[in-house]
Amino acid sequence: MTAVVAALARRSIRQTFRRPQFIAPILLMPTLFLAVNTGGADSATTLPGFPDVAGFLDFELAGAMMQAAMLAGVSGGIALAIDIEIGFTDRLLAAPIARPAIVLGRLGATAAMGLLLTAWFLALGFVFGAQVQAGAAGVLLIAVLVPLAALAFGSVGTALALWAGRASVVQGIFPLVFVVVFLSSAFFPRELLSEPAASVADYNPMSFIAEAVRDPIIGGITATETMKGLLGIAIVAAIGSVLSSFALRHRLRSA
Amino acid sequence: MTQSIAVTGALMRRALNEVVRVPGAAVPGVIAPTIFLLGLTAAFGKLTEVRGFGGPDDYISFLAPVTLLQCAGFTGAATGVNLARDIEQGWFDRLLVAPTPRVVLLGGVVLSAALRVLMPVAFLLTMGFVFGLNFPGFDGMLLIVVLVPAYAIVAACWGASIALRFRTQAAGPLIQSVMFMFILFTASYAPLDLLAPWLEAVARVNPVNQVIEALRAGFVADVTWEETWPGLVTVTGMTLFFGALALRGIQRTGR
């Protein structure tokens, strides 16, 4: 099963790099947003109650990584839906391989994209003067949390693709990505959000994950924030796994 | 002349039919700018408390013109991507061999954007007014009805020129990201003086900033001729420039 998962993951990664419409939403859009947010809301650091940060870029890096991780999850779902549309998934279902491998291969690729985008945004941050206050250990923690988050978001995208089987339907949830990000502390401190976003952000797993990723960048590694981040990832992954399992059964019945 | 108008009208009707026949593709473009308006207001609303911000107390009124142009940008980009799809599927080649001037074909494609954009604009303004957006007055509304469809034509011309050059939907991210940068690399989040120095420098030379300032006047104060004419001149100039680019693209196609 491991060999099948690895082969499918490799195929998915190659597919992502061959089609600009897959890679662009993951890296290009969050990078442009990062530029606009840091350039446009640079003066926000002077607001009373804003965390003590070296610069607004330091604060925003986690938000950009979260946005990109979520988009990576949705893009993985779109790619799977295209596989369903062109009949590739049906051929896999007929092959003598474990069925979860079909989903795990795709998720493995999404996690790998999570690692790539972590490297991209950290490199970008370093070039433009951001610092990871927790040092190498902080970088390592981010490199674990972001791919795990991408994997968790990917499980939700996978569930939707398996259920709908149409790329246009999965693509339709792109705006929802922004809703989830805006209603969290990914872009702005929770205490400074307007209502009702502030109240929603208190319960949004995205807030927990973003704050866990931000923690080593603007301060140091704290166990509480890290555990909250892992809890947030676990919640999303649990929802995604359950939905994927139901959706796969639904697809097998209809195949 | 009458035939040209009839062909243009038919192509515009076809573009509008897509909204009804493929709602899954159209809905994200309709609701995305509203999500940006409400989401960014929730996230960055406290920027109005930054010293020197000036303008209105409600951030939603400051941000509204940016999201109105996003409506135009998304619609225009979608027009370009739809044209690329028609080229990929061979439908546009059939139009090219028809006894119709190519400028008429291009006109039908890009003018449809001016009509389609009214849908996201209506949705955005309705939701905006519900959530406290200032009414821009009759003159402000008139400016919206003139400038936003005109900018949708600009974006559609850009999208068409790229679609005709690359002949693939894979060029979609290029179409979208250039429009994204034109609209957001302006005084979109805060007044020019509060932007990061690099963004302030870009925004001062970005012509779209004039359009945003013209639209913003009605929401934050009163519409004045001094702020309106630069926006009108900018949109006219951009229409001529990007229109010429698209025209050159269609004249060269297949030759």
Across B92-113, average pLDDT: 87
Tell me what pLDDT residue A66 has. 93
Q: Do B22 and A38 touch (CB under 8 A)?
A: no
Cβ separation B44–A188 shorter than 8 A: yes
Range of the domain at A71: 2-254
Which pLDDT does position A255 carry in this prediction? Answer: 64
pLDDT at residue B60, as a whole number: 93
Whether the per-residue pLDDT at A240 is higher than 80: the answer is yes
Q: Residue B231 — very low, low, confident or very high, per pLDDT cuts 50/70/90? A: very high
For chain B, the average pLDDT equals 88
Stretch (H or E) spanning A234: helix A223-254
Q: Give the chain B residue whose CA is nearest to the CA of A43.
A: B194
Residues of B in contact with A64 (CB under 8 A): none
Residue A102 CA to residue B170 CA, distance in Å, equals: 26
Tokens of A103: 């989903």
Q: Which pLDDT score, from 0 to 100, does residue B25 have?
A: 63
Predicted confidence (pLDDT) at residue B202 exceeds the cutoff of 70: yes
Q: Residue B251 corresponds to which tokens in the numbers above?
A: 């004249």
Q: Which residues of B128-157 are buried (b: 16+ CB within 10 A; e: fewer)?
A: beeeebbebeeebeebbebbbbbbbbbbbb
- Whether ipTM tops 0.85, in short, is no
Mean pLDDT over residues A9-19, rounded?
A: 82
Q: pLDDT of B9-30, one tens digit each?
A: 888 888 778 777 766 666 767 8
Alpha-carbon gap, residue B170 to A165, rounded angstroms: 21
- For residue B239, what are the CA distances in angstroms to A127, B76, B155, B157, B188? 37, 12, 9, 8, 21
Winning range, highest mean pLDDT, from A111-115, A142-146, B31-35, B224-228 = A142-146
Which pLDDT score, from 0 to 100, does residue A245 have? 86
Task: Note whether A17 and A23 are within 8 A (CB).
Answer: yes
Q: What is the DSSP letter of B47?
A: G
DSSP A23-57: HIIIIIHHHHHHHHHHHHSGGGGGSTT----S-HH
B185: confidence class by pLDDT, cuts 50, 70, 90: very high
Q: Is the CB of residue A29 less than 8 Å away from at least one CB of chain B? A: yes
Reported as a pLDDT band with limits 50, 70 and 90, residue A126 is very high
Q: What is the pLDDT of residue A248?
A: 85
pLDDT digit string, tens, across residues B25-71? 667 678 889 989 999 999 898 888 888 887 667 899 999 999 999 99
pLDDT given for residue B114 in this prediction: 92
Smallest CA–CA separation between B206 and chain A, in Å? Answer: 14
Q: Does the beta-carbon distance from A36 to B45 stay under 8 Å? A: no
* pLDDT given for residue A21 in this prediction: 66
- CB < 8 Å to A43, chain B: 47, 50, 52, 190, 194
The number of distinct structural domains making up chain B is 1
Average pLDDT over residues B187-199: 90
pLDDT confidence of residue A177: 81
Residue B124 pLDDT exceeds 90: yes
The proportion of chain B whose per-residue pLDDT surpasses 90, expressed as a percent, equals 45
Position B101 pLDDT exceeds 70 = yes
What are the pLDDT digits (tens) for A64-107?
Answer: 999 999 988 888 888 888 888 888 887 888 888 878 887 888 88
Tokens standing for residue B246 = 């698209």
Tokens standing for residue B84: 């690329």
Q: How far is A58 from chain B (nearest CA, A)?
A: 14
Task: Tell me the pTM.
Answer: 0.85
Question: Residues of chain B with pLDDT > 70: what percent?
Answer: 97
| Residue range B126-147, pLDDT digits in tens | 999 999 899 999 999 999 999 9
- Quick one: closest CA in B to A63, which residue? B43
Q: Is residue B219 a contact partner of residue B135, using CB atoms and an 8 Å limit? A: no
CB-based contacts of A97: which residues, under 8 Å, 6+ apart? Answer: A1, A4
Residues of A whose CB is below 8 A from B60: none
More confident residue, B170 or B196: B196
Task: Read off the pLDDT of each residue in A44-70 and give the average, rounded to a whole number.
Answer: 89
B192 in reach of chain A (CB within 8 A): no
Chain B residue numbers touching A41 (CB-CB < 8 A) = 44, 47, 189-190
Quote the pLDDT of residue B178: 87
d(CA A113, CA A12) in angstroms, rounded, equals 10
Instruction: Report CA A83 to chain centroid distance, whole Å.
Output: 21
Residue A200 and residue A177: Cα distance in Å, rounded?
A: 15
Q: What is the pLDDT of residues B211-224, one digit of tens each?
A: 999 999 989 888 88
Tell me the per-residue pLDDT of A183-202, one tens digit each, with 9 for 90 and over: 899 998 988 888 888 899 99
- Per the structure, the complete domain to which residue B72 belongs is given by 2-252
The number of domains in chain A is: 1
From B9's Cα to the closest Cα of chain A, the distance in A is 28
B201: closest chain A residue by CA: A39
Mean pLDDT of chain A: 87
Q: Do B32 and A37 touch (CB under 8 A)?
A: no
* pLDDT given at position B135: 93
Closest CA to B109 of B86, B131, B90: B86
- Residue A62: pLDDT above 90? yes
Indicate which of B38, B41, B44 best probes the interface with A, i.e. most A CBs within 10 Å of its own CB. B44
Please answer yes or no on whether B32 and A25 come within 8 Å at the CB atom.
no
